[in-house]
Structure 1
Amino acid sequence: MLFSFINYLENEKRASAHTVLAYKKDLEQVSEFLETAFAMNRLEEASHAEIRAWMVHLIEEGLSEATVNRKMATLRTFFTFLLKSEVITRDPTVKIQSLKKGRKLPTFIPENEMALLLKAANFDAGFEGQRDRMVLQVLYLTGMRLSELIGLRWHAVDLGSGQLKVLGKGKKYRIIPIATQLQKNILSYKKVFEETFSFADGNDYFIVRNNKEAAYPMMIYRIVKRYLDLFIQTTKKSPHLMRHTFATHLLNKGADLNAVKDLLGHSSLAATQVYTHNSIEKLKAVYEQAHPKA
């Protein structure tokens, strides 16, 4: 039935050659396992117990949750095909649940490295240099998303009230306060912006290219990476890293979790709680260093 299944993938599902090859390898691997462990020559004869045993085998081999889940997805597709073809009457994978993926802790820039970057980075006095400084400072000091920065317009920058009005996910607006020093730097940037483009209309984008057109994602990525390469040791150097750093630094300084949630524009507290793990690790380090019985 393996040949029929591959033929089905190629001709009916129009799967790519890469996908077909991956499915074929997965099914050959499980077939080999069943033959070795259970002297079973036909994959379609496998029961829930044999399939479960293969899953355990993959876990014991040290494969990641994502890899195990992908291989199990291959089996589910294969047995669904067998059901539709009336080769089997019961799917042995139906009660086998996917593995829960461990959530990775967000990477962030240590406070001393971030302070060095903002202090020591040499930004040119012209428009490009001041714009690049704005990109780094706004991302770090507001925690806004890349898409939110690109979509920010001058009319949403309220220096009188010291706040930004950001259009976030789900087309929901939120207000982000901005520090006094950032307000001063925005004023300096606005002066250079108007010297370069004659004036700053309220509908103009806050971050623009040299032709006053809106910025684009890869441009922001390049700006962030250019300066992080000079001062930051981490391998991940993206605009989202600045957002992670913003949230982690706030929580490390004792900020209320609900307040950080609102600043980030998260719809639920669960999305913000992942940052508390970094704060807990810092508390552990302080405890182990300071407590006499640690």
Structure 2
Amino acid sequence: MLGAVTTAARPEPLPAPLADLLTAYAEDLRLGRGRSENTIRAYTADVRSLLDHLRARDPEANAGDIDIHTLRSWLAAQSDAGVARSTITRRASSARGFTAWLVRTRRVASDPAARLGAPRPQRTLPTVLDRDDAAAALQAAAAGADEGDPIAVRDRAAVEVLYATGIRVSELCGLDLESVDHERRVLRVIGKGDRERVVPYGAPAADALGRWLEVGRPALATETSGSALWLGARGGRLDPRQVRRVVHEVTRAVPGAPDLAPHGLRHTAATHLLEGGADLRVVQELLGHASLATTQLYTHVSVERLRAVHSRAHPRG
């Protein structure tokens, strides 16, 4: 029963006091802490799950009834339902943020999540393309662009920019015309937490981007396109789902290569930068990672690839 409550697709509406509390928490995240809308949606969805679990245990309960036993049973129910460890870890973090806010705003006297533990997420090495497969995928992306089809020109430029910069697909689609400094070949990117960073790109991406702006974008632009750099077929801002489709198509076109999503190109770009001798902290800045520990994952990718090559190539590997 607990697992069903936790994973229900359409939970019952919250009572007004709890609904108002969730709204107030979302406003604090937005105005008090400057969180992005994506972050706010994720945090409030996690807290909503907790509140649904609380009410399943006691329909008359309020936020003051959240205790360590409620929190632990909530996480245990998700584990029993097969929720990934990384998701459970994130939800535990969301719960800590919420209960800390309850204390800070004097809605409760003590923090019930102070002793809450959560499983450490399993860190699996990301799948990446090697250099030859990356080159082949970019060639596949260019296949239809030479004929001047605006969608093909756009898709080629988007894949080139993703690989050249390692930016997230949401960051790519959020770019505006003024985000591009053509003379210095850099992009001004708005990342997580609305943090801005500057990311350079090379000559191949510059050529593909220039062709998109010269041939592709004018063919798709409408009066409502505004300043969006990337446009969909109807002239609106490009949807990340379209970019995901394109990346899957071009990586599938390479025999023997893994089928990747845009984040796989981000992993690939980071790995190739480190293999080429880039400093770890520089890669951290380029990717927009808040923690160096996140970037260090790519050093493990490089080491594992070296081991795999050694095992195949060395007589006593």
TM over 0.5: yes
How many angstroms does 1:138 deviate by?
Answer: 1.0
Q: Quick check: 1:224–1:239 contact (8 Å CA) kept in 2?
A: yes
Residue 180 (structure 1) aligned with residue 200 (structure 2): no
Residue of structure 2 aligned with 1:104, choices 101, 124, 144: 124
How many angstroms does 1:64 deviate by?
Answer: 10
In structure 2, how many angstroms separate the alpha carbons of the residues matched to 1:167 and 1:197?
Answer: 24
Letter in 2 for 1:212: G
Residue 245 (structure 1) aligned with residue 268 (structure 2): yes
SS at match of 1:231: coil
Name the structure 1 match of 2:295. Answer: 272
Counterparts of residues 1-294 of structure 1 (less than 5 Å) = 9=57, 11=59, 66=85, 98-121=118-141, 122-124=143-145, 125-193=148-216, 195-197=218-220, 204-231=227-254, 233=256, 236-285=259-308
Q: Quick check: 2:149–2:216 contact (8 Å CA) kept in 1?
A: no
Q: How many residues align?
A: 225
What are the Cα deviations for residues 62-120 of structure 1, in whole angstroms up to 9, with x where unaligned? x99949x89xx9xxxxxxxxxxxxxxxxxxxx999654332111111122111112124
How many angstroms does 1:181 deviate by?
Answer: 2.1
Aligned-residue Cα RMSD (Å) equals 3.9
SS at match of 1:174: strand
SS at match of 2:120: coil
In structure 1, how many angstroms separate the alpha carbons of the residues matched to 2:263 and 2:310?
Answer: 30
Letter in 1 for 2:289: H
TM-score by length of 2: 0.59
In structure 2, how many angstroms separate the alpha carbons of the residues matched to 1:140 and 1:120?
Answer: 14
How many angstroms does 1:126 deviate by?
Answer: 1.3
Unaligned runs of 5+ in 2: 3-52, 62-72, 93-113
How many angstroms does 1:155 deviate by?
Answer: 0.9
How many angstroms does 1:9 deviate by?
Answer: 3.5
* Compared CA separation, residues 259 and 219, structure 1 to 2 (3 A): same
In structure 1, how many angstroms separate the alpha carbons of the residues matched to 2:223 and 2:196?
Answer: 22
How many angstroms does 1:280 deviate by?
Answer: 1.1
Q: Quick check: 1:141–1:246 contact (8 Å CA) kept in 2?
A: yes
In structure 1, how many angstroms separate the alpha carbons of the residues matched to 2:54 and 2:204?
Answer: 63
Letter in 2 for 1:145: R
* Compared CA separation, residues 96 and 243, structure 1 to 2 (3 A): closer
Moved more, 186-195 or 135-144: 186-195
Q: Quick check: 1:143–1:263 contact (8 Å CA) kept in 2?
A: yes
What are the Cα deviations for residues 37-79 of structure 1, in whole angstroms up to 9, with x where unaligned? xxxxxxxxxxxxxxxxxxxxx9xxxx99949x89xx9xxxxxx
How many angstroms does 1:159 deviate by?
Answer: 1.0
In structure 1, how many angstroms separate the alpha carbons of the residues matched to 2:225 and 2:234?
Answer: 17
In structure 1, how many angstroms separate the alpha carbons of the residues matched to 2:135 and 2:173?
Answer: 24
* Compared CA separation, residues 156 and 236, structure 1 to 2 (3 A): same
SS at match of 2:189: strand
TM-score by length of 1: 0.64
Letter in 1 for 2:151: E
SS at match of 2:163: helix
Q: Quick check: 1:135–1:220 contact (8 Å CA) kept in 2?
A: yes
Q: Quick check: 1:146–1:239 contact (8 Å CA) kept in 2?
A: yes
Letter in 1 for 2:234: N
How many angstroms does 1:196 deviate by?
Answer: 1.0
Q: Quick check: 1:109–1:232 contact (8 Å CA) kept in 2?
A: no
How many angstroms does 1:198 deviate by?
Answer: 6.9
How many angstroms does 1:193 deviate by?
Answer: 3.2
Q: Quick check: 1:165–1:176 contact (8 Å CA) kept in 2?
A: yes
